[in-house]
Amino acid sequence: MIKILQVRNIDSFVESRRQKTSEKDKKTVQSILNDVRKNGDSAVKKYERKFNGRKTSQLRVSEKEIKEAQSKISRKEVTALRDMSVHLLHRRKILAIAERVENRASVYRYFVPIPSVGCYIPGGQARYPSSVVMSVVPARQAGVKRIVVVSPPGRDGKIDPLTIAAAKMCGATEIYKVGGAQAIAALAYGTKSIPKVDKIVGPGGKFVSIAKSFVSDQTAIDMVAGPTELGIIADASSNPELVALDLISQAEHSKDTMCFVITQSKTTAKQIQKSIEKLIPGTERSSIIKESISKNGFIAVCKNQNEVIELANKIAPEHMELMVKNARSFSKKITGAGLLLIGKNTPSAASDYLLGTNHILPTSGFGRTRGGLSFLDFNKLQTIVESKKSTLREISKSLKTLTDAEGLPNHYKAVKRRLD
């Protein structure tokens, strides 16, 4: 079951626990990308047949299929999706930068929406209409004109009806029945059926994450987002059962999920271990949970609080729960997590849906450098500058000094000619 590990060297410990991408997986993904880039739709359909076991004739979801999907979902499900969408809208602060600065020259800065985005929505072992809301809603808010949703179909050749209905409700302009690395390739390079997009966003399994990383030299991406990660910092005040339930709630995503605890107390570690062993048997999706926790889960025992903080910030997981005394004060010391959840009543399971935060978050240690998906990911900060001849005259002396120092004399000549 879950391992209890004594931390002796933090850097070595982090390196040993970080999930690594195998060369075999990299080669497989690169082969798929190359094939789709060269052969377009035929390659996409080939991989859909290979991985989903069903021939796909039409990649785009038709209006008829959309209406059919909408007829299959309940009013309760529609209400829940709207509730999620409204909370994501109303609880988000947008960093508004629209300014004009008059110095030597007039400098303008303002946001411009990205023309087109592709939103990857996972499928397979579970359905994720919530990820539709988390990606399509901020894209729509930002003013993106073309919002493409891709999601793997089931064995019946169809996308989950609730995923389709959510995409339509949130404002997606196109929906395609394709998943995995082949979907990322189609979005990045374009095919006859799926025109390329300017940016790809959304969570996914290891093949999707590898593919996003590989195509980023051609098409912008949001971040590496997946597989799921949850860290919990616990102490003697923590409820072992709640800690165990939260770990289980994220471990049910897939066998590749990494769920762990950091604590100073061996007693607390053993209590949490015992709670996990008690709760897993008989729970839904227990085979996935058991494999995930056995393969990737751990409880790290540190010597002191400083070690706890350092380890948490260096692992930098997607979610980090603080189930400790004085959690709010403690939170000021944790800077590496994609999302920080404070106190026993802020479980990651709730933040995945209805707390107003976005559940598309950085994984693989990238929480050290960025946070979750937001309005800002669907905009570029446009900068415009306008200068005058008098300004060029004012800066010419310093400009010559700098261009001479860098060995770029033609920069100065281009300015000097305007002053002759």
Q: How distant is the alpha carbon of residue 203 from its chain centre? A: 5
- Rounded-to-integer distance, Cα 220 and Cα 222, Å: 7
Task: List Cα–Cα distances, 190 to 41, 152, 154, 186, 396, in angstroms.
Answer: 9, 17, 23, 5, 47
Per the CB < 8 A criterion, the answer to whether 226 and 254 are in contact is no
R_g (Cα) of the chain, nearest Å: 25
Residue (of 166, 178, 226) closest to 373 by Cα position: 226
If you write DSSP's letter for every residue of 86-155 in order, what string do you get?
HHHHHT-------EEEESSSEEEEEEEE-SEEEEE---SSS--HHHHHHHHHHHHHHT-SEEEEEE---T
- Rounded-to-integer distance, Cα 161 and Cα 13, Å: 43
- Rounded-to-integer distance, Cα 375 and Cα 136, Å: 10
Q: Which residue has the tokens 């299929």?
A: 65
Following CA atoms 170, 136, 48, 287 in sequence, which dihedral angle do they give, to the nearest 10 degrees?
-90
- Rounded-to-integer distance, Cα 257 and Cα 260, Å: 10
Q: 23-39 and 41-52 helices cross at what angle (nearest 10)? A: 140
Task: List Cα–Cα distances, 248 to 17, 358, 372, in angstroms.
Answer: 19, 20, 22
- Rounded-to-integer distance, Cα 71 and Cα 67, Å: 6
Active-site residue numbers?
A: 318-319
